């Protein structure tokens, strides 16, 4: 373990159901660190769910995004490109608190993540 700090989400109540409905679901929509608001409209990170069929149709997560960051935005793009809708529970139901914990210091941000994200839809559905 490194000395960097990372945050982990803990559900604040028992009203949020962890399930895989008919469309991919972004669950962590209201987090105290972000004043219980989405960081940006195209976010699909934190706590998410989808069923096996959806995951297979989207060809899973890209292997291009080694290191930290970018893979969630890439998955958002894959979902939209596949004409799927992202479901989100109401922020009053899906409220999370961030708790500090040790972060693996060897898992640094990938410096190529933005260029990969920009060009990744060209190859997102190709099996490798």
Q: What stretch of H or E contains 80?
A: helix 71-81
Contact 79, 86 (CB under 8 A): yes
Residue in this structure with the two tokens 């970018």, named with its chain if needed: 70
Q: What is the pLDDT of residues 22-70, one digit of tens each?
A: 999 999 999 998 999 998 999 998 889 999 999 999 999 888 876 667 8
Residue 16 CB contacts under 8 Å (≥ 6 apart), including other chains? 27, 89, 93, 94, 95
> SS3 of 72, please?
helix
Is-above-0.85 flag for pTM?
A: no
> SS3 of 71, please?
helix
Read off the pLDDT of each residue in 105-110 and give the average, rounded to a whole number: 68
List, in order of start, the domains of the chain with CATH numbers.
5-122 (3.90.550.10)
Q: What is the pLDDT of residues 61-102, one digit of tens each?
A: 888 876 667 888 889 999 999 999 999 999 999 999 988 766
């Amino acid at each position: 373990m490194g000395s960097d700090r990372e945050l982990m989400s803990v559900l604040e109540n028992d009203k949020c159901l962890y399930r895989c409905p008919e469309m991919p679901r972004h669950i962590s929509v209201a987090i105290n660190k972000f004043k219980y608001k989405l960081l940006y409209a195209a976010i699909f990170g934190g706590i998410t769910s989808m069923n096996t069929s959806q995951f297979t149709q989207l060809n899973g997560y890209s292997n291009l995004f080694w290191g930290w960051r970018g893979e969630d935005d890439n998955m958002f793009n894959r979902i939209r490109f596949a004409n799927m809708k992202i479901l989100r529970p109401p922020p009053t139901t899906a409220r999370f608190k961030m708790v500090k914990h040790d972060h693996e210091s060897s898992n640094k941000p990938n410096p190529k993540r933005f260029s990969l994200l920009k060009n990744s839809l060209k190859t997102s559905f190709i099996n490798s």
